[in-house]
Amino acid sequence: MSVKVIIECQLSEVKSELLDDFLTENVPAVKGFAGCQRVSISFDENKTTMLIDEDWQSVEHHKNYMQFIDSNGVLKGLIAFMSAPPRILYFRSYEY
């Protein structure tokens, strides 16, 4: 069963073009990582909150990805754009 991962990020006051460049460079690697099915990124009107919406084959696949970006420095680079630690939520879908 696949899992939806929602990551809510409160952004610090940074130039949005720097964040855009960072995402353009790094999001393709997320999409190519084992178990990733989809990635979508949304911002609120003022670009103070970023919502990363992902579908993964399993929670374990996502956690493996998080370990990978922690070890290669990408996570540290992403967190540099935030004013608080990201909030990561895992959801499973059920049909009724």
pLDDT at 41: 97
Does residue 88 contact residue 5 with C-beta atoms inside 8 Å? Answer: yes
Does residue 9 contact residue 80 with C-beta atoms inside 8 Å? Answer: no
Region 62-81: mean pLDDT is 96
Alpha-carbon gap, residue 68 to 2, rounded angstroms: 20
pLDDT at 95: 80
Say which CATH architecture domain 3-91 belongs to: 2-Layer Sandwich (3.30)
Percent of the chain with pLDDT over 90: 88
Average model confidence (pLDDT) for the chain?
A: 94
As a residue count, the chain comes to 96
Alpha-carbon gap, residue 56 to 65, rounded angstroms: 10
Find residue 43's DSSP bridge partners: 50
- Residue boundaries of the structural domains of the chain: 3-91
- Give the confidence band of 27 by pLDDT, cuts at 50, 70, 90: very high
- Give the confidence band of 13 by pLDDT, cuts at 50, 70, 90: confident
- Alpha helix locations (H) across 1-96? 16-31, 59-72, 74-79
